[in-house]
Structure formats: structure tokens, C-alpha cells
């Protein structure tokens, strides 16, 4: 009802003939929206705040201290597990983009009929239970290790589970992270005119790799960055798969540390910090890089 | 000639992705089927049988499946309704800052789960939590490690998922459509009944299906909060397989895992046709 006045500021003077009713209406709408968002914010912020309270307040001595946050970097096993997780996350991101970027460009330019296939493929991992997936993966690896030692299959499944660089984790994570990476890339691809970009670059004599590297990717950097950060956040939080496959990345280390009961406040502090950090980075990236994206959506709706 | 070469090149760019998914998804699923239909006899020799599946649909496992389905249905309904209203409120607001903040927060929170999430809720309404006494005034029987507790916690990652999936569709609703309806004398109810609703319905239902699937698939959160006291398919799979007592149990775990994949397949079968319909209007 109020959209007319809201969308067109120029129309405001005309409305001044009957300001009372209009303004009342507006206020009602704003109040409704504020109420909904406020309640939701409460639901989402209160647990985080309570968690923060728990990490800084010692109920036995009734003292506040930020020391858990100071202890994080010195904690036993912290650097090992973080380094392990970062390595896995980087491998995941690289494999993910090597697979997704060429496929998505090709579908956008020449194979639009395949778009639904790609979209549904990117949805499957959201409903696929990680437990079921990892049980299957474990079985497949078990088949390999049941072979005679020395055969290529045996060697392959041993290499995949190598404790230093466990290739099996990035391989599975690429699947799990696909919905988020696909969505970010797709969103930023919609805001650039890929065809014109590619035709201009090719017309000026650039080779295909050069076109992708110098013309396409810089225009997708927002999507690339946010996809990468979402993947990073996912890998840092993923527990089911790595614990069942018996690796010890960051998420598993947090749990075992908290069960050690030596520093019960440390683990929540670490997880809280990693959550806020990944959100802050993601927000900054999308905010600083998203200007063009917003112009794009405005144009389409005008 | 050049055209067919281009097509070939395009397929060459897509095939690695399709092949990767076929291997990385297909092999584990095949392994589940293959091991699920076998069971060792008294001599420890495997033979084919459906006994694992019969067991997996009876007794405690049936209870687990039903309670998983009930939990997913309940939390998906709550999260879909709340998420849709939230996404609408956000789509209506014009501040870019708010929209970006909510979108990025949704991306992060949809992945937030397991132990860290459990920490947050234990600190809030767990035993000795800051707000437990308040909540117990209103809801005396409430305990975090029960079915009810999971219903309270799950929307924490499902609502963001719903917002992520429906916000693009809500953004695609053009203001002009609303104005056109108003100019033609339509009421707000008529707009939602004949224009907005039908356009949004596929996206909203799709989001609901995704919430259902994500809720059904969740494992780490449930385990961390209830430590197995609430019977759920996913926790049962893990406990059957980590119990490593009998070889038959392993095959039973495979059958249970396969059951969840069947449920997931049914979800996708509902979701995909819906998605096709919603894309048509909102992308033009």
C-alpha cells in the first residue's frame, strides 16, 4: 500500500495534501519490520552473547577476564590443527574453483540448457547427510586397503588418508561446499555481461586463458572471495566427516580440548572468535566489492 | 565447423565437474548399496540378503527414523515461516548495509553447527545457563538435551538457510507489479493471492524442502546437545558404526545410511520441479 511513496521520492509533494493517513501507514509498516527483525536479532545474538559471557566471567571467583582470548595462540595443539585445517581449506578452494569456474562460464555462454543440471547438482549436498556420505567414503577407502599391499589401489587409498596431507578431506569438502561456492559465483556472474566481456577480449586477440585470467576473473572477484570465505568457514566448522575419518583438524581439536577440561573456556572462545571473524571478513568483502552488484540489480528492477 | 568445435570445448569445460561429482558422489553411494545388501552368515562369509533393510525399518531404528522425520518436519515448518517473513522484511528495507550484513551473516550461520553451536545454547539455556530460569518460568518442562531442545536450536542454522534461498526470489518481485495491482484497484490480499503468492510459492516450498533436508541430515549438533538420548537416524548410524562390535552391525549401518539417502532423493525429487517453475518468471 505504501510502496508508491516509498519508491518515488519525487511523488512526495503531491501526497502532501493528505499527509496524516499516509504517514500513519508508513509508521505501521516500519514498526512491523522493525519488530520482526528485532525479535530475530534477539534469537541470533543472545546465544552468542551468552557464550561470550561464559568465556569472560568466572562464576567461582566472580571475576571478569579476557585471558581465554589471550591463551588461544599458546594452547597445546592449536597451531598444528589450524595449519592442518588451513591446508585442507586451501586445497578445497583450489579444486572447487578449478572445477566450477570453467564449467559455469561454459554453461553461461554456450550451454544454457545445462544450467538446471548444474543448479540441482549444487543443491544435492545441502540435503545429503554428511554421516551417510562419510560412511560410504570410508567403505570405499576400506575396499582399497583390503587389496594386497603394493597394488596401486592399496597405495591410492593409503595416500588419500595420509595424515599430513589427507587428500580425501578436500575431495569430500568440495562436494559439501559446492552449494555455497556455486551460489556466490552465480550471483556475481549475473551482474556482469559475460558475453560482451569475453567477445571484446577475444576480439582484441587475447587467448582463452588470458581472457579468463585478465577479463573474467577480475570481474567475478566479489563472488570468488565470498565463495572462498564461505568454504573456509565451512571447513573450519566441519566436524562430522573429519572426526569419523579420524583426522584432527581445528573443529575436532576444539572438542577434544574442551573434554580435557583443562581450559573449558578456551574452546568456546575459539569458536566464537572464528565465527565472528569469518562473518566480519565476508561482510567487508561483500560491502567493499559489492558496489557494482547493487547497481546491476537496480537497473534490472527499474 | 567452428560452431561444433566451440560446443565441444564447452562440454570439455563442464565434463570435469560432472565427472568429479559422479565419482565423488556415486562411489560412496554405490558402496552403501553394495555393503547394505550383504550380511555375513555364521561362517563369516558374506552373502546377499535384504535382512539389513528389514532390520533398519523395525524397532529402535524405525523409532529413530520417525523421530528424525518429525523433528525435521517441525523445525522446517518453523524455519520456513520465520525465514520467509525475515527475508521479506529484509527485501523491503532499502539499506544496503543491512541487506549485506544479513546475507553474509546467513551464509556463515547456515554453516554454523555442531559443537560450537551447542556451546552457545548450553551457555544460554543449558543447565546453569544464563536464561534457563526465565525460560523455565514460561516452559517448565524445557530441557536442552531433549527433542524440544533440538527444536529450539535447529532454527539457528535453518532460518539463515531459508533466508539465503528465498531472498533472491523476494528481491525479484518488482515494485511495479505491486503498483500495477494497486492501480487496478486490487487490495493487498488480492496482490498476495494472485500475484506475489504464486510467484513466491515455488521458491518458498523449495526453501522448505532444503530446510527439511538440512535438518534431517544434521548430526553433530544433535550429538553434541543430546549425546544420543534423542533417537535420530544420523546419531544411530554413527553409534552403530563406531560400536564396531559385530560385522553384521556394519552392514546395518550401511543400510541405515542408504535410507537417509533415499529420503534425500525423495526431497530432491520434490524440489527440482519446483525450482524449474520459480526460475521462469523471476529471471526475465
pLDDT in tens, A35-63: 888 899 999 999 999 888 888 877 677 77
Dist CA B225 CA B222 (whole Å): 5
Instruction: Quote the percentage of chain A above a pLDDT of 70.
Output: 82
Q: Which of A3, A105, A140 sits opposite B179 (nearest CB)?
A: A3
Residue with cell 527475508: B87
Dist CA A206 CA A220 (whole Å): 18
Compute the nearest-CA separation of A150 from chain B (Å): 22
Dist CA B271 CA A120 (whole Å): 9
Determine, for residues B238 and A105 on separate chains, whether the beta-carbon distance falls below 8 Å: no
End-to-end CA distance of chain B: 32
**B-chain residues near A230 (CB < 8 A):** 107-108, 111
Nearest residue to A77 (alpha-carbon basis) of A204, A253, A297, A298: A253
Mean per-residue pLDDT, A233-252 = 85
Residue B232: strand, helix, or coil: coil
Length of chain B, in residues: 284
**A-chain residues near B168 (CB < 8 A):** 187
Measuring CA to CA, how many Å separate A112 from each of B15, B55, B268? 15, 45, 21
pLDDT of residue B243: 64
Residue with cell 585471558: A67
Q: Which one of A39, A40, A129 makes the best mutation probe of the B interface by having the most chain B beta carbons within 10 Å?
A: A129
pLDDT of residue B18: 92
End-to-end CA distance of chain A: 19
Determine, for residues A139 and B31 on separate chains, whether the beta-carbon distance falls below 8 Å: yes
Q: Among all residues of chain B, which has the CA nearest to that of A264?
A: B119
pLDDT of residue A78: 79
Angle (CA) B231-A54-B218 rounded to 5° is: 25
For A57, the enclosing helix (H) or strand (E) is: strand A57-58
Helix boundaries (H) for chain B: 2-36, 51-56, 59-92, 96-109, 114-125, 132-138, 147-153, 155-172, 175-183, 188-191, 197-217, 220-226, 233-242, 247-282
Determine, for residues A267 and B119 on separate chains, whether the beta-carbon distance falls below 8 Å: yes
The answer to whether the beta carbons of residues B266 and B41 sit under 8 Å apart is no
Dist CA A174 CA A185 (whole Å): 15
**B-chain residues near A256 (CB < 8 A):** none
Compute the nearest-CA separation of A15 from chain B (Å): 16
Low-confidence ranges of chain B (pLDDT < 70): 1-5, 42-44, 243-248, 275-284
Measuring CA to CA, how many Å separate A171 from each of A93, A141, A154, A174, A261? 10, 13, 18, 6, 33
Query: Residue B123: which residues within 8 A CB-CB, separation 6 or more?
Result: A47, A50, A51, A53, A54, A268, B129, B130
pLDDT for A169 beyond 60: yes
DSSP designation for A151: S
CB of A242 within 8 Å of a chain B CB? The answer is: no
Measuring CA to CA, how many Å separate A184 from each of A202, A220, B104? 26, 9, 11
The answer to whether the beta carbons of residues A224 and A185 sit under 8 Å apart is yes
Dist CA B242 CA B246 (whole Å): 11
Q: Among all residues of chain A, which has the CA nearest to that of B256?
A: A132
Nearest residue to B254 (alpha-carbon basis) of A136, A15, A27, A65: A136
Query: Which of A19 and A158 is assigned the larger pLDDT?
Result: A158
Measuring CA to CA, how many Å separate B262 from each of A202, B42, B88, B213, B223? 46, 30, 33, 11, 22
Q: How many CB pairs under 8 A join A and B?
A: 260
Dist CA A111 CA A106 (whole Å): 6
Measuring CA to CA, how many Å separate B85 from each of B54, B72, B92, B102, B160? 42, 20, 11, 14, 12
The answer to whether the beta carbons of residues A263 and A69 sit under 8 Å apart is no
pLDDT for A261 beyond 60: no
**A-chain residues near B18 (CB < 8 A):** 103, 117, 121
Compute the nearest-CA separation of B234 from chain A (Å): 6
Compute the nearest-CA separation of A151 from chain B (Å): 20
Partner B, chain A 141-160, Cβ-Cβ below 8 Å: 143
Q: Which one of B28, B165, B170, B215 makes the best mutation probe of the A interface by having the most chain A beta carbons within 10 Å?
A: B28
pLDDT of residue A238: 85
Dist CA B113 CA A277 (whole Å): 16
DSSP designation for B38: E
The answer to whether the beta carbons of residues B210 and B218 sit under 8 Å apart is no
Determine, for residues B14 and A102 on separate chains, whether the beta-carbon distance falls below 8 Å: yes
Query: Which of A23 and B42 is assigned the larger pLDDT?
Result: B42
What average pLDDT does chain A have? 78
Measuring CA to CA, how many Å separate A22 from each of A14, A18, A26? 12, 7, 6
DSSP designation for A166: -
Crossing angle of the two packed helices A194-203 and A78-109, in degrees rounded to 10:
80
pLDDT of residue A98: 93
pTM for this one?
Answer: 0.81
Dist CA B36 CA B39 (whole Å): 8
Q: Which one of B123, B170, B196 makes the best mutation probe of the A interface by having the most chain A beta carbons within 10 Å?
A: B123
Q: Which one of B2, B3, B7, B10 makes the best mutation probe of the A interface by having the most chain A beta carbons within 10 Å?
A: B10
Q: CATH number of the domain at B50-282, please?
A: 1.10.3720.10
Amino acid at each position: 500500500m505504501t510502496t508508491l511513496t516509498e519508491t518515488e521520492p519525487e511523488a512526495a509533494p503531491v501526497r502532501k495534501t493528505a499527509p496524516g493517513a499516509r504517514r500513519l501507514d508508513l509508521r505501521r509498516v516500519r514498526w512491523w519490520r522493525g519488530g520482526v527483525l528485532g525479535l530475530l536479532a534477539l534469537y541470533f545474538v543472545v546465544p552468542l552473547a551468552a557464550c561470550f559471557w561464559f568465556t569472560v566471567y568466572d562464576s567461582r571467583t566472580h571475576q571478569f577476564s579476557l585471558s581465554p582470548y589471550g591463551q588461544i595462540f599458546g594452547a597445546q595443539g592449536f597451531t598444528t590443527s589450524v595449519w592442518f585445517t588451513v591446508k585442507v581449506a586451501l586445497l578445497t578452494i583450489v579444486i572447487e574453483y578449478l572445477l566450477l569456474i570453467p564449467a559455469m562460464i561454459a554453461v553461461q555462454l554456450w550451454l544454457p540448457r545445462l544450467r538446471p543440471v548444474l543448479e540441482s547438482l549444487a543443491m544435492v549436498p545441502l540435503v545429503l547427510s554428511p554421516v551417510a556420505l562419510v560412511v560410504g567414503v570410508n567403505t570405499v577407502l576400506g575396499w582399497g586397503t583390503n587389496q594386497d599391499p603394493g597394488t596401486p589401489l592399496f597405495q591410492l587409498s593409503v595416500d588419500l588418508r595420509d595424515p599430513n596431507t589427507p587428500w580425501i578431506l578436500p575431495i569430500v569438502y568440495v562436494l559439501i561446499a559446492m552449494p555455497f561456492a556455486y551460489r556466490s559465483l552465480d550471483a556475481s556472474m549475473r551482474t556482469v555481461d559475460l558475453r560482451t566481456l569475453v567477445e571484446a577480449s577475444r576480439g582484441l586477440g587475447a587467448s582463452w586463458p588470458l581472457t579468463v585470467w585478465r577479463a573474467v576473473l577480475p570481474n567475478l572477484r566479489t563472488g570468488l572471495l565470498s565463495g572462498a570465505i564461505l568454504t573456509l568457514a565451512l571447513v573450519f566448522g566441519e566436524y562430522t566427516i573429519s572426526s569419523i575419518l579420524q583426522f584432527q583438524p581445528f573443529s575436532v581439536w576444539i572438542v577434544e580440548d574442551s573434554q580435557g577440561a583443562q581450559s573449558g573456556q578456551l574452546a568456546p572462545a575459539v569458536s566464537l572468535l572464528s565465527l565472528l571473524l569469518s562473518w566480519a571478513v565476508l561482510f567487508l568483502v561483500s560491502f567493499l566489492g559489492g558496489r557494482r552488484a547493487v547497481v546491476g540489480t537496480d537497473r534490472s528492477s527499474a | 565447423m567452428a560452431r561444433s568445435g566451440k560446443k565441444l570445448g564447452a562440454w570439455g569445460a563442464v565434463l570435469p565437474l560432472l565427472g568429479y561429482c559422479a565419482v565423488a558422489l556415486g562411489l560412496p553411494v554405490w558402496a552403501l548399496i553394495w555393503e547394505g545388501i550383504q550380511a555375513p552368515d555364521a561362517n563369516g562369509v558374506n552373502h546377499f540378503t535384504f535382512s539389513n533393510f528389514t532390520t533398519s525399518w523395525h524397532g529402535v531404528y524405525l523409532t529413530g527414523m520417525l523421530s528424525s522425520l518429525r523433528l525435521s518436519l517441525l523445525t522446517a515448518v518453523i524455519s520456513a515461516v520465520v525465514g520467509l517473513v525475515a527475508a521479506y522484511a529484509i527485501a523491503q528495507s532499502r539499506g544496503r548495509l543491512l541487506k549485506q550484513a544479513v546475507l553474509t551473516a546467513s551464509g556463515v550461520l547456515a554453516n554454523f553447527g555442531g559443537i560450537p553451536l551447542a556451546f552457545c545454547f548450553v551457555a544460554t539455556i543449558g543447565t546453569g545457563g544464563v536464561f534457563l530460569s526465565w525460560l523455565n518460568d514460561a516452559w517448565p518442562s524445557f530441557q536442552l538435551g531433549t527433542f524440544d531442545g533440538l527444536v529450539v536450536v535447529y532454527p539457528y542454522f535453518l532460518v539463515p538457510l531459508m533466508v539465503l534461498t528465498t531472498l533472491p526470489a523476494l528481491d525479484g518481485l518488482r515494485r511495479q507489479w505491486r503498483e500495477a495491482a494497486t492501480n487496478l484497484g486490487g487490495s493487498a490480499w488480492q496482490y498476495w493471492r494472485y500475484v506475489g503468492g504464486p510467484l513466491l510459492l515455488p521458491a518458498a516450498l523449495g526453501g522448505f524442502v532444503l530446510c527439511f533436508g538440512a535438518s534431517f541430515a544434521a548430526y553433530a549438533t544433535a550429538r553434541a546437545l543430546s549425546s544420543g538420548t534423542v533417537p535420530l537416524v544420523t546419531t544411530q548410524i554413527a553409534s552403530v558404526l563406531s560400536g564396531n562390535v559385530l560385522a553384521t552391525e556394519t552392514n546395518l549401518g550401511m543400510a541405515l545410511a542408504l535410507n537417509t539417502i533415499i529420503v534425500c532423493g525423495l526431497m530432491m525429487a520434490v524440489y527440482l520441479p519446483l525450482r524449474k517453475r520459480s526460475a521462469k518468471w523471476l529471471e526475465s
